[in-house]
């Protein structure tokens, strides 16, 4: 079965600084999803990457997919308190998505003022 | 649109009791799924459905039953609750086109404690 390893497990960053979260898959990635979860709440969809080399940005968050390395990275520029939470990567291992997603264990992000 | 709704938000059960976690979506999504989230384990797929009348097992299906009689609803049943089922349960739905499935929309979760 597919496994996703996220690094780091937790991250404390001073407000205004940049940061990167990585997600590495044990198998071929057909689709990679990034979600954000605030403590005690549900998951909010951030971005979906489907093609090797694909890069997407939304506001100050950029995600990239390196298909050869079976890896995705999430980069936040000029972090703000609103970026705090748990970031989860999810992967579609079947190619069609019908089997659900496999998730990493998450990266806990804390933004220090 | 309400999106994906889940009830109840919190529930405490005694070992051996049964209950149903409700999940509904108003986006006409064909695909629905249930996950459980445990500390240190991440999210794990319990059951999923690709359409009304069709369900299948995920990674951790034991102890749970599902049915899908309508597109909108996908209830999760615990027949005889066990302390190992203490967890946060998330329901998700997704649209599909040409056999491909896209980003899943998650409900707010149900926190279940089994004593």
Is the torsion defined by CA of A40, A46, A52, A54 positive or negative? Answer: negative
C-beta of residue B112 within 8 angstroms of C-beta of residue B87: yes
How far lies B73's CA from each of A53, B6, B34, B99, in Å? 37, 10, 12, 21
With beta carbons under 8 A apart, name residues in chain A contacting B107: 42
Which pLDDT band holds residue B97 (cuts at 50, 70, 90)? Answer: low
Using alpha carbons, select from B35, B23, B76 the residue that is nearest to residue A106. B35
Q: How far is CA A22 from CA A7, B42, B72, in A?
A: 5, 16, 35
Please tell me the distance from the alpha carbon of residue B47 to that of residue B58, in angstroms, as a whole number. Answer: 5
A98, B109: Cβ pair inside 8 Å? no
Q: What angle do CA B26, B28, B29 make, to 5 degrees?
A: 110
DSSP, res B73: B
Note whether A1 contacts B59, CB cutoff 8 Å: yes
pLDDT band at B104 (very low <50, low <70, confident <90, very high): confident
Residue in B43, B50, B103 nearest the CB of A98: B50
Provide the pLDDT confidence category of residue A19 given band limits of 50, 70 and 90. very high
Mutate to test the interface with A, among B91, B103, B108 (most CBs of A within 10 A): B103
Measured between alpha carbons, how far is residue A86 from residues A12, A33, A43, B94 in Å?
A: 12, 14, 9, 22
pLDDT digits (tens, 9 = 90+) for B66-84: 999 999 999 999 999 999 9
Does B110 have pLDDT greater than 70? yes
* Nearest Cβ partner for B90 among A43, A97, A104: A43
If you average pLDDT over every residue of chain A, what do you get?
Answer: 90
| B43/A96 Cβ within 8 A | no
Pairwise pLDDT comparison (A53 vs A112), residue with the higher score: A112
B43/A88 Cβ within 8 A: yes
Q: Do A42 and B106 touch (CB under 8 A)?
A: yes
pLDDT in tens, A41-70: 889 999 988 877 789 998 899 999 998 889
Q: Are B54 and B68 in contact (CB under 8 A)?
A: yes
Contact A99 B102 (CB under 8 A): no
Q: Determine which of B29, B38, B101 to mutate to test the interface with A (most A C-beta atoms within 10 Å).
A: B101
């Amino acid at each position: 079965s597919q496994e996703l390893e996220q690094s780091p497990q937790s991250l404390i960053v001073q407000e205004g600084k940049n940061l990167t979260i990585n997600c590495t898959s044990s198998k071929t990635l057909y689709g990679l999803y990034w979600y954000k979860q605030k403590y005690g709440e549900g998951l909010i969809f951030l971005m979906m990457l489907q093609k090797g080399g694909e890069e997407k940005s939304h506001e100050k968050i950029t995600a990239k997919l390196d298909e050869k390395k079976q890896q995705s990275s999430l980069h936040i520029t000029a972090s703000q308190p609103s970026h705090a939470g748990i970031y989860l990567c999810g992967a579609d291992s079947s190619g069609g998505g019908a089997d659900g997603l496999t998730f990493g264990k998450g990266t806990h992000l804390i933004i220090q003022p | 649109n309400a999106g994906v709704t889940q009830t109840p938000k919190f529930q405490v059960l005694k070992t051996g009791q049964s209950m149903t976690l409700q999940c509904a979506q108003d986006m006409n999504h064909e695909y629905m799924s249930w996950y459980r989230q445990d500390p240190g384990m991440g999210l794990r797929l319990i059951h999923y459905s690709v359409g009304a009348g069709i369900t299948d097992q995920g990674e951790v299906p034991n102890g749970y039953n599902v049915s899908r009689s309508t597109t909108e609803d996908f209830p999760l049943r615990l027949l005889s609750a066990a302390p190992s089922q203490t967890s946060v349960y998330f329901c998700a739905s997704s649209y599909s086109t040409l056999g491909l499935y896209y980003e899943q929309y998650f409900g707010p979760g149900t926190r279940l404690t089994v004593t």
